[in-house]
């Protein structure tokens, strides 16, 4: 007797298309957990990070209005975030000087990553709002993800495992030391 949970696809709603789908329901928890945890500046990891040492918070550079740190859950080695110190949710909340530094730090980060990691390209992104995919929508941040040919494979999907070639501490040190004008070590 056939399992009642499974039906013949031809009996279900929808029109077949050419797309194959990789279902990743475990990603929903990652996308929504940040929303539930961050309720304001007092429990925002991006507000708390500058209060600790660079090594502890994975900060690679502190600017006057924004800072750069490694993503604690990187898509690829060297995945950086640019954050304003001010707790604002939207790019339009930044005054011109802060927006300028935000972009300048993004440009510098790309140059530093080109020097230390030699990526073939980058994904840059700001996910605005919970429905826009922001893991932490309450505090603006831009992703800088270095990319290499062949840097994706089946492991994240099948084994829920990401292969990273260096520790976060070592990556932070390399990027911080290569930052222009750095005295990091």
- At residue 67, the pLDDT reads 97
Condensed to tens digits (0 to 9), the pLDDT of residues 61-84 reads 999 999 999 998 888 889 999 999
* Class of domain 25-178 as given by CATH: alpha beta
Domain residue spans in the chain?
A: 25-178
Q: Enter the pTM of the model.
A: 0.76
Q: Does residue 87 contact residue 65 with C-beta atoms inside 8 Å? A: no
User: Per residue in 107-132, is it b (16+ CB within 10 Å) or e — as a string?
Assistant: ebbbebbeebbebeebeeebbeebee
- At residue 150, the pLDDT reads 74
Condensed to tens digits (0 to 9), the pLDDT of residues 88-146 reads 999 999 999 999 999 999 999 999 999 999 999 999 999 888 888 888 889 999 999 99
Kindly tell me the sign of the dihedral angle through the C-alpha atoms of 156, 137, 168, 98: positive
Report the chain's C-alpha Rg in angstroms: 20
At 61 the three-state DSSP class reads strand
Burial class (CB in 10 A: 0-12, 13-18, 19+), 81: buried
Kindly provide the residue ranges of all beta strands, DSSP E only, lying in the chain, ordered along the sequence.
59-62, 66-70, 80-84, 121-125, 142-147
Whether residue 155 is predicted with pLDDT greater than 80 in this model: the reply is no
Condensed to tens digits (0 to 9), the pLDDT of residues 25-70 reads 555 555 555 555 677 788 889 999 999 999 999 999 999 999 999 9
Instruction: Please state the separation of Cα 9 from the chain's center in Å.
Output: 36
Show which residues are catalytic.
Answer: 141
pLDDT, mean of residues 141-167: 72
- Measured CA to CA in angstroms, residue 168 lies from 19, 37, 115, 136 at distances of 36, 23, 17, 20
Phi, psi of 125 (to 5 degrees): -165, 145
């Amino acid at each position: 007797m056939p399992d009642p949970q499974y039906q013949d696809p031809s009996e279900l709603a929808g029109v077949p298309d050419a797309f194959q789908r990789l279902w990743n329901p475990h990603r929903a928890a990652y996308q929504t957990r940040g929303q539930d945890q961050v309720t304001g500046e007092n429990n925002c990891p991006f507000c708390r990070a500058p209060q600790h040492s660079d090594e502890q918070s994975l900060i690679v550079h502190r600017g006057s209005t924004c800072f750069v740190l490694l993503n604690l859950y990187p898509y690829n080695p060297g995945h950086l975030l640019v954050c304003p110190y001010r707790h604002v949710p939207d790019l339009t909340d930044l005054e011109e000087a802060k927006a300028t530094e935000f972009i300048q730090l993004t440009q510098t980060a790309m140059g530093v990553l080109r020097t230390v990691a030699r990526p073939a390209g980058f994904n840059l992104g700001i996910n605005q709002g919970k429905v826009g995919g922001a893991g932490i929508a309450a505090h603006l941040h831009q992703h800088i993800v270095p990319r290499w040919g062949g840097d994706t494979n089946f492991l994240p999907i099948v084994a829920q495992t990401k292969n990273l070639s260096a520790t976060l501490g070592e990556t932070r040190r390399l990027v911080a030391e290569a930052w222009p004008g750095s005295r990091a070590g």
